[in-house]
Structures are given as C-alpha cells and as structure tokens.
Amino acid sequence: MLASRDLNFLLYEWLDVLSLCRRARFDAHHRDRFDAVLVQAARLAHDHLAPVNRLLDEQEPRLTEAGIRTPEVLREALAAVRQSGLLAISQDRALGGLQLPVLVEKAAAAWFYAGSAAATAYLFPARAGSRLLQRHGGAAMVAEWVPPLLDGRATCTFCVSEPQAGSSLSDIRTRAVRQADGSFRLYGNKMWIVGGDHELCDNIVHLVLAQIEDEDGRIESDTGHLSLFLAPKYLPGSDADGPVTSAARPAGGVRNDIAATGLYPQMGQRGATSCLLSFGEGNHLPFGQAGAVAWLVGEENAGMRLVTEASPEIQIDVGLSAVALGYAGYLQALDYARERRQGRVPGVSVLGSGQIPIIEHADIRRMLLIQKSFAEGGLALALWCARLMDERDTAETATERVRAHDLLLLMTPVLKSWCAQHCVVANSLAIQVLGCYGYTRDYPVEQLYRDNRFNAIQEGTHGILALELMRDRLLKDDFRGLQRFITEVEETLGRAAARCGDVRHMAVQLQKYAERFGWIINRLRQEPEAGRRLANASVFMEAFGHFVIGWVWLEQALVAEVAYLSAYGAERNFYAGKCQTARFYFQHELPRIEPQLVLLEQLDMSAMDMQPTWF
C-alpha cells in the first residue's frame, strides 16, 4: 500500500524529524517511538482497513427511516483504529494525546488512507476540528467536545456547501436564531457532507457555517456575516419528550434537530456517506421544539476566518488521501509488471526465446516511472507541509513561526490540487499497466482510480482553489508566501550548484523556470484589471504545482545522491531509484509546463473571450 523505506527516507533523511525532539514539546520522544507508531499504523491498515475496502465499495450505505446504516465491518474496522490510540497522537498529553509531531501523525495517516480512504474519511476531520475548538471554543466547549473527538467517540464534519450556493459561500442561507440562554437554533440545509450521518460511534460534531438573523429576521448576502457554530447530533442532557434509549445513543443525550434527508450515490469512496443534511426542519424536537441547537464558535461573523484557518490541515489530509491511493495503485502495477510475462526482447527471434516480464518493456517502465514520480513526489510534498505545521506551532522564534505559517497557506492548496489531479493520473496508468485485467474488478486498481477521482472535487475543486491561490494567497498577500518559497528554492539551488553532474543540471533547469515565474508575477502585479489577472488562475496552479514537485525531487536527489555513494545492495538500489526518478521527472514531466508559462506570460484571454452563446 505504501513503501516503508520511502517513508523512512522522507522522515529521517530528508525532513529530519528527529531534530524536532530537541524542542520542549517533543523532548520525551525518540526514533523508536516514531517507528512503533508507523509500524502500528501499517498493521492497522493491512489487517483492518484494507480487508474491508472492497466490501465497502460493494455494500454502499443505506438511508433508512432510522438514519443511515453502514456495513457492520466498517464499525469493527474503525473500532480497531480508535482502540489503537493513534487518532490523537499529535495532541497535548493533557487531552489524552501522545504529543508527537504532526509530521509523524500525517505519516501514520497515509497508511490509513492507503488501507481504505472511504473508512478513513470518517476519522480525520476531527483532528482539524478539535484544533479549531481548542483555539476558539472556550474552556467549557473544549472540555465537553474535544475529548470525544480525540478518542474517536465522536466524529466531526465541516458543513459549508448548500444546494443553492455550492462553492459561492456568499450565498449561504442557513440561519442562526439567538436563544435566551445564549445558544442558537439553526435552520437550513447542507449538502455533500462526508460522514454527515452514521451509527459508527456515539456522536457527530457538526461545525456549521450560518448567518445570524438580525432583529427583523433578515440575513446578509456576503461571507463577512458568516459565523461558525457547533451543532452535535446528540445533545448532552435529558430529552423533554422522554428518556433517550441506549439504542439511540449509548452515552445518553438528546437527539438534535439534524437529519440526513438525502444520500448521494458516488462513483468512488462509496463507503463514506455523502449526505444532504437538514437543520431545524422538525425531524426531531430537542427540548420540545424544532430547530437544531448550536453554540457559537469564536466571535460572531468570524466564520470564514475560522474555516480558512482550518483549511490547511484539511487540505493536507485530502492531499494525503490522493497520494496514498496513487501510491497503492503504483505498487499494485509494479508487482504485476514484475510477475506478468508477455512479449519478448525487441529484435530477438520468437523461436528459442521465452516471454519476459513486462517490466522489461520500455513503455511499461515509462508508465511506472510517471506513477513513481507522482506518488513519491506528492507524498514528499504532503509531509513537508506537515512539517510546516510543526514549525508554525513550535519553532523557537516568532520569525520562524511566521515563515512556516506563510508557506503553509501558500502550499496546502497547491498540495491538495496537484495531488488530486496527478495521483489519479497515476491510478489511470496503473490500470494501463495491467491492460484489460486492470479494467476488471479482479484487481483493485479500478477501485483505486474511482476512489481517487473524488479527491479532485472535495474540499475545493481545482478551479476554486486556483482562484483562492491567486486572489487570496498571492495578490492579496502581495506574494509574501511565494517570496518565502522562492527563498527555499534559492537555498536548494545554492546547494545543488556546488555539485556536478545530473543534480547540477536539474538545478539549472529549475532556476530557468523560477526566473520565468518571477517575470509572470511581476506581470500580474502590473495588470490593473482583476479579470485578466484571474483568467488563467488554473493554468498558474497547474504550472506552479509541477514546479513545486520539481523542487521536491531536486531536494530528494540531493540527499539520495550522497547516500548512494556509501550504500550497498538493496539500499544502493533504493537511492539509485530515487536519483533516476528525479532525472526522469526533470526530463519528461517538468518541461510540460512550458506552454502553460507561455499562456501566463501573455495573460491569455481565449477562454474568457469565448461567449456562452458560441458553445
């Protein structure tokens, strides 16, 4: 599902996770502890998540009068993960966590996504949700809701999209009505809510974007008036309509006025419920009246700011899901290519020669190299972003923390978008390596492709994230995050310039593209018309993402090239494979951004100039 050796290379040889142990937050830890966590995560993925993945695809969740029902094996698999204690490994010890680096937590999460992305989708939004509550929820809210989120007794959702709004959040219509006791009642609908309803644990904590009604019952139409609310499926206390049975919720409590009124049939990740949720329609009557009981998180009208604050971690998780599925498909294709015999060496007579493993054919190696470069490059970028979370929260100086924060805001939409786009290409190539077998359900690669296609849609489409990157991360911040990344690239280029051979050649190529991006950025700065600046945001995202992965591969090559010189046997092969994949990426993949850079340099408007009536 994943390559343990590659994970170790990224954690210990490139990202130097052990250096974090010198910081006060992590000084009780050492490599043995990190390794034990990763081994346990791999075992859970192999023994509990992977075995149920096909069944979850075949036995989809059902919407019944009692709510959504999922296969019992899903409950059992998630129970094994909860009981492992690995759900909160980066959280404070005072909250029941292990206080390990986020970098280690995300490396472990990659195993879970590789085992079953659908099953894992229920679990990890709670990490971002709990961190948000700890920063903005207040002591009482943290005490009530964070512990069950961290130990798996409750899952978490972010309820943002609505049927009439989609990605246009200024059109959100969910209303929040003040109550005398300081709480609110919510009324509205949310759609595409993954894990929005289920019976897999005691509770579901919904974090809901809504607008607070004014005294006249009106709401505004802009994101500046959105607030964030906590609305659980079950409320603590006794029900005014009578006692809640243990079958409804073993821990006791009141059923809130939140109901799944629709369940979307999905192309992939079918085991993860994607729900239409209704709030306040009287499906349940908490304390005798309709309306979903909720509490304000943070300040009024700060909802968008809080959701934006949680976005980097959510985007890392979606990027990790895409990477893990692409990686799993690559390893399936690699194993098949080594075992499947077909054809002969070109130029050799059929008579007297046997068939050869298909990995001996040039085109098979080309397709495997593309998959390897995308999967290993994407994993490296995801873990680097996780390391930035640790730097943001624990770096020794304020300057270092601000630097990490700026880089994180810039990189996470790129990570999510690039991995979701290109790791599904890796899955497509895995099918191609298997030929007709790949298109059948005899092998898992077709499901991996379908499962991964979902990641390009969830938590922001490519186009939406590209607009946010250009408008909010680049133009609004005066390219501050980008300048910090260029500093990272220049430092890498400086180290590469002291080398010779392939690494130096790759550095020259990357330098050329860095200069082109610099020219494009200056061109965008000078363009007064917003429409022209944003017209090619998606093109910029695609080109920049490929450039970032080029930097990632140059960084890996710098480490692997030195290690290769003193390695033997399988280790020498591992480092040689790293160096060759970097060379391949720079020869075959990085040059693909050339026509995109031309469009950006011209501020091409051919798409915008096309009129709707001309289609």
| pLDDT tens profile 79-88 | 999 999 999 8
| Measured CA angle at 376 (ends 374, 380), to 5 deg | 110
Bigger pLDDT: 167 vs 401: 401
Distance CA 270, CA 274 (A): 9
Answer left, alpha or beta for residue 55, where phi above 0 means left and psi between -120 and 50 means alpha. Answer: alpha
Give CA torsion, residues 67, 70, 75, 77, to 10 deg: -150
Helix axis angle, 362-394 to 537-565, nearest 10°: 100
Three-class DSSP category at 71: coil
Q: Which two tokens stand for residue 488?
A: 């990272």
Task: Give the residue ranges of DSSP H helices in 282-397.
Answer: 303-339, 362-394
Question: Does pLDDT of 205 surpass 50?
Answer: yes
Is-contact 39 8, C-beta < 8 A? no
The pLDDT of residue 350: 63
The pLDDT of residue 239: 45
pLDDT in tens, 561-594: 999 999 999 999 999 999 999 999 999 999 999 9
pLDDT in tens, 512-546: 999 999 999 888 888 888 888 899 999 999 999 99
**Phi first, then psi: what are they for 315, rounded to 5°?**
-65, -35
Find the helix or strand (DSSP H, E) in which 294 lies: strand 292-297
Question: Does pLDDT of 249 surpass 60?
Answer: no
Question: Does pLDDT of 468 surpass 50?
Answer: yes
Percentage of the chain with pLDDT > 70?
Answer: 97
Distance CA 135, CA 296 (A): 13
Question: Does pLDDT of 421 surpass 60?
Answer: yes
The pLDDT of residue 479: 80
- How confident is residue 245, by pLDDT bands cut at 50, 70 and 90? very low
Three-class DSSP category at 232: strand
The pLDDT of residue 456: 94
Q: Which two tokens stand for residue 454?
A: 């979902």
The pLDDT of residue 352: 61
Q: What's the rounded mean pLDDT across residues 443-450?
A: 98
The pLDDT of residue 486: 93
Q: How far is CA 378 from CA 370, 415, 424, 547, in A?
A: 12, 7, 12, 12
Question: Does pLDDT of 216 surpass 80?
Answer: no
